[in-house]
A and B are shown apart, each in its own frame.
Chain A
Amino acid sequence: MNGTKYVIQKELDRVFKDKKLVFSLFLLPAVLMIGIYLLMGKLINIMVTDVQEHVPTIYVQNMPDGFNSYVEQLNFPGSVIYFYGENVLTRTDEGEKIISTEEIKENIRSGRIDLLVVFEEDFLNQVENYEEGSIIPEIRTYYNPAEDYSEEARNKFMELVINKYKTYLLAKRIGDLNQIMVFDVDRDPAASYVMDETRANAKTLSMMLPYLVIMLLFTGPMNLGIDAITGEKERGTLASMLITPMQRGQLVLGKLLALSILSCLSAVVYSVSIIVGLPDVQKVSAVGNGTVRIEPVQMVWLFIVMVVLVYLYVTIVGLIAVLSKSSKEAGSYISPVYIIVILSGIMTMFAGDFTVDIGMFGIPVYGSAIAIQKITTNELTLAQFGVNVISTVCISAILTIFIIKAFNSEKVMFNV
């Protein structure tokens, strides 16, 4: 195995003695990833806060008597303009102007006005003089669901004004509301939460982490594997090692193990970047209190699952690389494989909480993705872990044997 040792050493030296390569493979991706996630977190925060803090502009047509006083009492956070008829005098950028109801709707479409609330004419009279069987009056709202401000304005106005106004009018009509309410549901909503804190906190992480890990672990072998094998074949430097006494199997193992080490290092860099950058994104969508704890045993299993997955990726890329006649050809074959890898990760994002059959953990790549998902909620069992690791290792071993056979084939190595 001495040959393997020297080949590993050479492959590692190739990367670590080249400052530009170290920068582009390890440092730049980390900086970019942390930067992107921090920016995403900031932008999401800004977007959510912006909508929440926006002061909506609401036009109310045909308001019933006393409605404006009622709204003032509620301290509704918005600019409410009341009018009767079809037109209203309003302030615009060009000064005061009379605009029609149609123009108000046009402004809602363009995002300049957030909401139009239209009471039926004689609304209060209809409410007060209601008789059993007669048609009740309607309040129409006009808003733009494609505009965040408009949708938020309608939701707020409905919740803070209209629903309360309805309750107020109902109390005036009936007196004791409990006569029609009959019973309450969840007077204290927070007391109704019966959730696994770990699962709740890990909800976002369990959706995103498998996809990120599965995808990111592939980038190392993809970036390095083609040049390490196909590139060397093209340059003639691989042949120089084939005429040494070293067995082909030793050469193959040396290449694959070196690629695995470099890919694992690359994965560690990406993982640290995610840990640093992701919390800002997760804060916005956290269900629980945002703290994620993974048990020590599950952490060890996560490490093992990732390491064997890296070696599987290395053997897949290695086999494609050795069978390809050129680096360009290898790249074109690896691209669809990368897409399949990404899809395997994406599928776990929409898997939901359904029970996973133990056999699924044996599916290459996808099995590792669901294993990682289960680890984030501390739910991976020993059996599931075993099936995934054994399956991945067996497939990797078979691919390694194929690669060694390819290295022994003069047709593959010399295109003869």
Chain B
Amino acid sequence: MIEIENFTKVYKLSKKQRLELKTRNHIRKAVDGVSLLIPKGEIFGLLGPNGAGKTTTLRCISTLLKPTQGSIRVCGHDTIKHPEKVRKKIGFLTNEIRMDPDFSAKYMFEFFGHLHGLNDEVIGERRKKLFSYFEIEEFQNKKIEQLSTGMKQKISIAVSLVHDPEVIIFDEPTNGLDIVTARSVTNYLQLLKEEGKLVLISTHIMSEAERLCDRVAIIVNGKKVIDGSLEYIMDTTGTRNLEDAFFNLYLQYTERGKV
């Protein structure tokens, strides 16, 4: 389970950043008072426009960043007090995190397996399973720098799952993938959910969120404007699909100045 309570993330702005953003404020609230409860066995979507605070939220859950206020607990462990315990439980994937291009997929998989404390036998089994599913076997010994964007993304996904984590956090999981591979990734996320894992994704593709997610939260300008099941959101906004619901809320909350 992921428990986020009144989570706020504030950044101090440098002089250069204030000039770029054309603001006199010395701080910027990337995330403001977000609370969420995400149980196991669910695919939860975090939706929002660019700069809404989704990636910041995911980074704080994964312990890369620390909340300024509030708390985040993953499987009962606080991200500030016990970050190593949190990292043991999660698999995290985001565009800014890349695999070392000088090594092969097989090498990186084994390397991260060892860093997660797995022995060679377990790593071998996990590699067979994941490389087979994501069709990585044919290029597993090639250097990552020689591979296409899609191949690199598949390798990143496989490596992030090397230790069979309880919580999977993916930021734009199908980014750069062809339609067939994207479907295999989303199918795998469904499998993980059926295994009782918690899957938290962030995506811009509303159709993907609609097809995949059990519940979603929409974040606009750092604030959570709504969270719940898709039916609940569409009923609340009086819309027929998630994309319309999203735009309805976006316009509502930016026009009326509620955020």
In the bound complex, what is the Cα–Cα distance between A416 and B112 (angstroms)? Answer: 26
Interface string of A1-32 (1 = CB under 8 A from B): 01100100010011001100000000000000
B189 in the interface (beta carbon within 8 A): no
> At the interface with chain A, which of B32-40, B90-98, B220-228?
B90-98
A93 interfacial by beta-carbon distance below 8 Å: no
A227-244 contact mask (Cβ, 8 Å, vs B): 1 or 0: 000001001110111111
Across-interface contacts of B102 in A (CB, < 8 A): 14, 17-18
Instruction: Give the docked Cα–Cα distance between A3 and B115 (Å).
Output: 6
Per the 8 Å Cβ criterion, residues 6-57 of B in contact with A are: 11
Q: Which 3 A-B pairs have the closest CB atoms?
A: A236-B98, A244-B115, A237-B100
Within 8 A of B (CB), among A195-246: 232, 235-237, 239-246
Say if the beta carbon of A84 comes within 8 Å of chain B: no
Interface residues in B78-110 (C-beta closer than 8 Å to A): 84-85, 87-88, 90, 92, 96-103, 107
CA separation between A63 and B65, bound complex, in Å?
95
Query: Which residues from B are CB-within-8-Å of A414?
Result: 59, 64-65
Q: Beyond A18-B102, A235-B98, A235-B101, is A410–B116 a contact (Cβ under 8 Å)?
A: no
A282 within 8 A of B: no
Nearest-CB residue, chain B, relative to A237: B100
A62 at the binding interface (Cβ < 8 Å) = no
Selected contact of B65 from candidates A10, A13, A247, A410, CB within 8 Å = A410
In the bound complex, do residue B98 and residue A245 qualify as a contact, i.e. CB atoms below 8 Å apart? no
Given contacts A240-B99, A247-B84, A414-B59, 17 further A-B contacts (CB under 8 A): A6-B114, A10-B100, A13-B107, A17-B102, A235-B100, A236-B98, A237-B97, A237-B100, A239-B64, A239-B96, A240-B159, A241-B115, A242-B64, A243-B62, A243-B63, A244-B112, A410-B65
Q: Mark A176-208, 1 if CB is under 8 A from B, else 0.
A: 000000000000000000000000000000000
- Interchain CB contact (< 8 A) of B117 among A239, A240, A245, A416: A245
Residue among B63, B101, B107, B114 with the highest chain A CB neighbour number at 10 A:
B114
Of A2, A17, A239, chain B has the most CB atoms within 10 Å of the CB of A239
For A59-70 the 0/1 string (1 means CB < 8 A from B) is: 000000000000
> How long is the Cα–Cα vector from A414 to B65 in the complex, in angstroms?
9
Contact A2 B84 (CB under 8 A): no
- When C-beta atoms are compared, the residue in chain A nearest to B87 turns out to be A245
B126 interface residue, CB < 8 Å from A? Answer: no
Name B residues whose Cβ lies closer than 8 Å to a Cβ of A: 11, 59, 62-66, 84-85, 87-88, 90, 92, 96-103, 107, 111-112, 114-117, 159
- Given A13-B103, A235-B98, A240-B97, are A6 and B64 neighbors across the interface (CB < 8 Å)? no
Residues of A close to B66: CB separation below 8 A: 410
What is the CB-to-nearest-CB distance from B104 to chain A, in angstroms, rounded to a whole number? Answer: 10
Do B90 and A243 touch (CB < 8 A)? yes
Contact B111 A10 (CB under 8 A): yes
Residue of A with least CB distance to B162: A244
- Nearest opposing residue in chain B for A411, CB measure: B12
- Of the A-B pairs whose beta carbons lie under 8 Å apart in the complex, a sample of 24, sorted by A's number, is A6-B111, A6-B114, A6-B115, A13-B107, A14-B100, A18-B102, A235-B101, A236-B96, A236-B97, A236-B98, A237-B97, A237-B98, A239-B97, A240-B98, A240-B112, A244-B87, A244-B116, A245-B87, A245-B116, A246-B84, A246-B115, A247-B84, A410-B64, A414-B59
Complex: A416 Cα to B55 Cα, angstroms: 13
CB within 8 A of A243: which of B92, B99, B100, B114?
B92
Give, as a whole number of angstroms, the nearest-CB distance from B171 to chain A: 12
The answer to whether B64 touches A237, judged by C-beta atoms less than 8 angstroms apart, is: no
Q: Which residues of A contact B (CB under 8 A)?
A: 2-3, 6, 10, 13-14, 17-18, 232, 235-237, 239-247, 410, 413-414, 416
Residues of A within 8 A of B159 (CB): 240
List, in ascending order, chain B residues with CB within 8 A of A18's CB.
102
Residues of the A chain whose Cβ atoms lie less than 8 Å from the Cβ of B11 = 416
Nearest-CB distance from B187 to chain A (Å)? 25
Q: Which B residues touch A413, using CB under 8 A?
A: 64
In the bound complex, residues from chain A placing their C-beta under 8 Å from that of B101 are: 235, 237
Q: Identify which of A3, A237, A243, A245 gathers the most chain B CB atoms within 10 Å of its CB.
A: A243
A246 to B163 alpha-carbon distance, docked (Å): 13
Q: How far does the alpha carbon of A247 sit from the alpha carbon of B84 in the complex, in Å?
A: 7
CB neighbours (8 Å) of B107 from chain A are 13
Contacts of A240 in B (CB 8 A): 97-100, 112, 159
Residues of B close to A14: CB separation below 8 A: 100, 102-103
User: Which has the most chain A C-beta neighbours within 10 Å: B63, B88, B102, B159?
Assistant: B102
Report how far A296 CA is from B99 CA in the complex, Å. Answer: 47
Of A13, A235, A245, the residue contacting B84 (CB under 8 A) is: A245
Distance from A127 Cβ to chain B, minimum over Cβ atoms (Å):
85
Most buried by A among B62, B84, B85, B100: B100
